[in-house]
Amino acid sequence: LRLPETLLLSTDCLDSGLYHGPRWRMEPGDLFIPVDSIEEEATLTCDAKSTPPPQYRWSLNGTFINLSLDRRRRLSGGNLIISSLDRYRDVGVYQCMAYNTAGAILSRRAHLKFAYLDHFKVHTRSAVSVREGQGVVLLCGTPTSSGDLTYAWVFNEYPYFVQQDNRRFVSQQTGNLYIAKVEPSDVGNYTCVVMNSVTKGKVHSSPTSLILRTDVLIQAQSDAY
Ligand SMILES: *[C@@H]1O[C@H](CO)[C@@H](O)[C@H](O)[C@H]1NC(C)=O
Ligand SMILES: *[C@@H]1O[C@H](CO)[C@@H](O)[C@H](O)[C@H]1NC(C)=O
Ligand SMILES: *[C@@H]1O[C@H](CO)[C@@H](O)[C@H](O)[C@H]1NC(C)=O
């Protein structure tokens, strides 16, 4: 069920007083849907004018969707309405075709994507030891996700967040926490908190303990920081 090439010819030469090939009133736009809202419907818009009025077909990833026996997807005018959204089956590139006896036009490509944030894989994190006065990086280990993320770190107990200052920095690229010139007051448990700005979902890592190292013998090794 590939797009028939012959239907995609320009419709201009077929226009006459009585018959007009379709022209767009509304083409579909990209959709970025939070996975939590998966019970809701998504609407891909498509509207064209023509004489006689157009009919519509939709393709997903270049393959026509046959809506005749489809329980989840239906047409409303030219709009494609998808219910019971599925993170795997509905993702892809959609295109609308409007056609009548005088011609056919193909819309822009609209991407449908899902935003999500998986949980951290549950495992205990080994303690990180650092000498007083040195620097250390605590890795967040962001879980699989789609959509913009923001990061924060909880120190010991919620809701005490690490306050960024001239010694402490949270990378909003990686989620990692950088602590310079470690002080005894930095000792404790650090939990990475990841928030997805599209889904508003939030997940917590298991804690990493930061401990002070006192062993003088391995100073050369830890000086590598
Ligand atoms: C769509 O599916 C129905 C039922 O399987 C079939 O009869 C019909 O020919 C199909 N339509 C197209 C355009 O392939
Ligand atoms: C459509 O194509 C994209 C990119 O190749 C792929 O990730 C997605 O799974 C495809 N969608 C379907 C429904 O096959
Ligand atoms: C850090 O966590 C460990 C293990 O859960 C606990 O024994 C310890 O008391 C915690 N330290 C602080 C400062 O909360």
Q: Residues 43-101: pLDDT tens digits?
A: 999 999 999 999 999 999 999 999 998 999 999 999 999 998 988 899 999 999 999 99
What does the block give as tokens for 12?
Answer: 């201009």
Q: In the structure, what pLDDT confidence band is assigned to residue 175 with cuts at 50, 70 and 90?
A: very high
Question: Does the C-beta of 173 come closer than 6 Å to ligand 1?
Answer: no
Question: How much is the pTM?
Answer: 0.71
Give me ligand 1 centre to Cα 66, in Å.
Answer: 6
What does the block give as tokens for 79?
Answer: 């709009």
Instruction: Tell me the mean pLDDT in the region 161-171.
Output: 96
Give me ligand 3 centre to Cα 112, in Å.
Answer: 44
- In the chain, % helix, strand, coil (3-state, to 5) comes to 10, 45, 50
Whose CA is closest to 149, among 167, 170, 178? 170
Q: Which domains are seen in the chain, by residue range?
A: 5-115 (2.60.40.10), 118-213 (2.60.40.10)
> Mean pLDDT for the chain?
89
Lowest mean pLDDT: which of 14-18, 209-213, 218-222?
218-222
Instruction: Tell me the mean pLDDT in the region 94-119.
Output: 96
- Residue with the nearest Cα to atom 11 of ligand 2? 92
Nearest ligand to residue 113 Cα: 2
Place of tokens 């998504």: 42
